[in-house]
Homo-oligomer: A and B are copies of this chain.
Amino acid sequence: MQLTQYTDYSLRVLVYLGMKNDGRATITELADYYQISRNHLVKVVHNLAQQQLILTQRGKNGGMSLARPANQIKVGDVVRLTEPNFHIAECFNNVSNKCVLTPNCRLKSILYQANVAFLTILDNYTIADSIVGLTVFKPDNSHAQG
């Protein structure tokens, strides 16, 4: 059981923006920081903007920023808006489902309850909660003795 890297990257973008003093960043800056594919990030950022989780600005001095304060963005909502589906088992996909137990099987509602519980926990936290203890740039210890 895992979330897609797409969702992972989406969360990291928001965390980075929350960490930065000015709250702004470009895709290139993020790709460099996380050492991940710039091209992939382009799509992640585009989706975050479509979902109104961030604001983007094209052109020179453009970039992105959080659409609202980090403490008002629930982790659960981010996951709901970025994860492609929550087809926990085949029976959750009405199109491809071929299980002969449907619709009498109780497993589906059990799995659904578990999925709800998963997202409910994430709803108890915001991007701000994820950031505690993090800073974009490491503290300046360059003058400290090795």
Chain A: interface residue total (CB-CB under 8 A):
48
A144 adjacent to chain B (CB < 8 Å): no
Which residues from B are CB-within-8-Å of A114? 117-119, 121-122
B2–A99 touching, CB < 8 Å:
no
Mark out the residues of chain A between 26 and 73 whose CB falls within 8 Å of any chain B CB in the assembled complex. Answer: 33-35
A95 adjacent to chain B (CB < 8 Å): no
A90–B1 touching, CB < 8 Å:
no
Determine which of B35, B117, B119 lies in contact with A100 in the assembled complex, contact meaning CB atoms within 8 Å.
Answer: B35
Given contacts A1-B1, A106-B130, A115-B118, 5 further A-B contacts (CB under 8 A): A2-B87, A8-B89, A12-B99, A110-B121, A110-B129
